[in-house]
Structure 1
Amino acid sequence: MDRNSAGISGQYTRSNNDYNRPDDHAASSRRVQYRHGTVEQWDNPLRATPGRNEFYHSSDACSSQNLMFRSVNSAQDFNTLTRQEIMDGLVSKSYRFGDRYDGRHHGQYASSIKKYTSASKRPLNRAEQSQLIRLLQNFSVTRSWNWRSLTTTLHSLTSAGVFTPHNPMDERVKLTQANLLSTLLDAIIFNCNQKPEARDIDARGIANLLWAMAKLVDNGQERTPVFNEAVATLLPHVNGQKANFKPQGIANLLWAMAKLVDNEKKRTPELNEAVAALLPLVHEQKDQLNAQGITNLLWAMAKLVDSGQGQTPEFNEAMASLLPLVNAQKDQFIPQHIANLLWAMAKLVDNGRKQTPGLK
């Protein structure tokens, strides 16, 4: 039961991964449900990226291309998303600006695909995925892309089911899928390894990327060497950004780490350090957690213990903070939450957790 259980809300992903940057004062925010968590959605205007791409203004973009992006909404027909002129426009921009292109329009297009699946309340089916993947053969990701474009693209395509393996799958589709994922991960690794002043890494992006990577393996993607390197490169940033994580990010990160450990069957020092950095935050932000966050966290903590996590003082404090919330918010849990919570509590007892009054 637990393979696809953590925090399932009974609906498909409905979030936009475009996240607010410190200078985006006009951005609007709303909360939406993920299948495995809740992520904050941001709708941002197209604007110049500060820093290395300051010269690249939105006025450089082709007006017809902008109209295509603006026309994509919840009622968008899938065939419109796979029009060749959209990809031709993306290729043209990438070619025109070369290594100065920041990837923003590719990220917007990826978000448009996710909006389609959100409106459909399901991921892409095999026929849609195959049709789209053929178009994405020219979806070239480079190391010049900024952090926001990379995180938006990987999270959006993963959420939409672009990388989900189907059986059977055409070999050309499989190869394009693997190449696109590999180039995205390579660019993320490159970005993470740059000097601090040259990158825009933030807490929301880290949480969304690790969620997406966990979702990839949960959906059946192979853990390639570049995948493992990307995870290992991202994990140290969890500790560096721990002061900036919100409750949803904490819940999604611990869910992701539990899934990654469950898939790999081993714990790395980087993962242990990231978990240790997050556990105190559970206690600190307990009053801001909703029913889904409580469910995700208890499921993740039970899964981590089942995979060898020691019940440290920080772990015990986090657990003691969460258990009373189950009773306090009992009217908010849907049937799937209840099933996941009971599974988590049974797993904790099975792994030596004492049946304290709070657990009972």
Structure 2
Amino acid sequence: MHRISAANARSGNYYHQPDNQAASSRPGRYRHDTVRQRDNPYRTIPGRNEFPPASGAYTSQNLQCRSVTPEQDFNALVNPEIMDALLSKSARFAHRYDGRNHGQFASTIKKYASASKRPLNRAEQSQLMRFLQNFTVTRSWNWRSLATTLHSFTSAGAFTPHHPMDEGVRHTQAALLSTLLDAIIFKCHLQPGARDIDTQQITNLLWAMAKLVDNGQELTSGLKKAVAALLPNVNAQKDQFIAQGIANLLWAIAKLVDNGQELTPELKEAVAVLLSQVNAQKANFKSQEITNLLWAMAKLVDNGQKQTPEFKEAVAALLPHVNAQQANFKPQEITNLLWAMAKLVDNGQVQTPGLNEAVAALLP
């Protein structure tokens, strides 16, 4: 059992609003806010996606899922009664506790940030981290709880470093991340039959890890180990991923590599598996997913990925769909697509008729 303890963090009122505008002036920076939410059970990019409710009823009234509006007092979400209920539930079931109530609490924080249309500001983050000093993560948690907790807190901006940052807040952030990653690594190393992880959870976990480093968290050895531990599950469940999940996974892997994750044999194998699925599901990708995929491929090549036959086939499979969906691309998607094509050509992509047609379709 891991327990987070830290000195009380001061609540400040300084907050630097992150730039949520299209970052088209920065080559290859495909900002998460450009990825639109769809009515799809695989809503995993960006942070606004909603998890399906965990199975089973929640008996604590304090932990009931509720709609949160920006006008609600943030204090209502981080009051001592809620933490007492979480600690009580965890203590009552001990090693049999699956973490569902903790995951549901994390979801309420994400809903607050989503309703506020912004990540947690510095004061809210400090208040939350003081609240989470006794937030206990154990290896008995199931995959749903681990994925929901990490994804929800990341989406809400709970782990985004602010500058300056109180040392107590920094310590609690690091401790909470460490215990979450430890549980993920532990569960990945269980026997295959005991892993019990599904494709949505794989995608959400890798997306959250990519977003952590994209938001300024250091790519620590623990984070690298967690990524490496998750990658074999991509291969094991390759036939179960739907189109959006494939696009989100390749985006996440490319973002991690761009921030220092090594191109290990396991990572290359996961990329190869996903590229084969791009070709198989080429007709199912929407405009934003085509953009994510081509951006990810270009970024991977720019960081050392070889243009293998599977890679070239995936690019060739996507290019006709750029022309077919030319009317659906948003301005930033057009920018990112043209950047991706230029980067691919710069790294050896042949200027085929298909590529020339895609460029011609975007230029108007």
Q: TM-score, normalised by structure 2?
A: 0.85
Equivalent residue number for residue 329 of structure 2: 333
Measure, in 2, the Cα distance between the counterparts of 1:229 and 1:246: 26
Equivalent residue number for residue 221 of structure 2: 225
How far did 1:145 drift? Answer: 0.4
Measure, in 2, the Cα distance between the counterparts of 1:188 and 1:181: 11
How far did 1:7 drift? Answer: 6.1
The root-mean-square deviation of aligned C-alpha atoms, in Å, is: 2.1
Measure, in 2, the Cα distance between the counterparts of 1:7 and 1:109: 24
Gaps of 5+ in 2: 1-25, 357-364
Distance 1:82 1:72, change over 3 A: farther
Of 60, 64, 73, which residue of structure 2 is paired with 1:69? 64
Of 114, 117, 124, which residue of structure 2 is paired with 1:118? 114
Of 166, 171, 177, which residue of structure 2 is paired with 1:170? 166
Distance 1:319 1:177, change over 3 A: same
SS in 2 for 1:230: helix
How far did 1:103 drift? Answer: 0.1
1:34 aligns with 2:29: no
Distance 1:229 1:266, change over 3 A: closer
CA contact (8 A) 1:279 1:318 kept: yes
SS in 2 for 1:118: helix
Measure, in 1, the Cα distance between the counterparts of 2:43 and 2:193: 32
Measure, in 2, the Cα distance between the counterparts of 1:226 and 1:7: 24
After superposition, residues 20-169 of structure 1 pair within 5 angstroms as 34-35=45-46, 41-44=50-53, 46-47=55-56, 58=57, 61-62=59-60, 64-65=61-62, 68-74=63-69, 76-169=72-165
SS in 2 for 1:135: helix
CA contact (8 A) 1:292 1:337 kept: yes
Gaps of 5+ in 1: 16-27, 48-57
Equivalent residue number for residue 280 of structure 2: 284
Q: TM-score, normalised by structure 1?
A: 0.86
How far did 1:307 drift? Answer: 0.9
How far did 1:128 drift? Answer: 1.0
Distance 1:221 1:274, change over 3 A: same
1:215 aligns with 2:211: yes
Measure, in 2, the Cα distance between the counterparts of 1:107 and 1:33: 16
1:134-193 per-residue CA deviation (whole Å, 9 max, x = no partner) reads 101111100010111001111111111111111100000000000000000000111111
Total equivalences in the alignment: 330
Equivalent residue number for residue 4 of structure 1: 29
How far did 1:287 drift? Answer: 1.0
Measure, in 2, the Cα distance between the counterparts of 1:32 and 1:238: 18
How far did 1:197 drift? Answer: 2.5
CA contact (8 A) 2:290 2:318 kept: yes
CA contact (8 A) 1:7 1:337 kept: no
Distance 1:228 1:86, change over 3 A: same
1:242-296 per-residue CA deviation (whole Å, 9 max, x = no partner) reads 0111111111111111111111163111101100111010011111111110000
Distance 1:203 1:33, change over 3 A: closer
Measure, in 2, the Cα distance between the counterparts of 1:110 and 1:337: 31
1:9-62 per-residue CA deviation (whole Å, 9 max, x = no partner) reads 277xx69xxxxxxxxxxxx965758348x96x4533641xxxxxxxxxx47x33
SS in 2 for 1:167: coil
Distance 1:293 1:259, change over 3 A: same
Distance 1:163 1:7, change over 3 A: closer
Measure, in 2, the Cα distance between the counterparts of 1:228 and 1:196: 21
SS in 1 for 2:319: helix
Equivalent residue number for residue 55 of structure 1: none
CA contact (8 A) 1:286 1:322 kept: yes
Measure, in 2, the Cα distance between the counterparts of 1:3 and 1:186: 31
Measure, in 1, the Cα distance between the counterparts of 2:261 and 2:78: 39
Equivalent residue number for residue 270 of structure 1: 266
Measure, in 1, the Cα distance between the counterparts of 2:98 and 2:107: 16
SS in 2 for 1:44: coil
Equivalent residue number for residue 198 of structure 1: 194
> What one-letter code is carried by the residue in structure 2 that aligns with 1:353?
Q
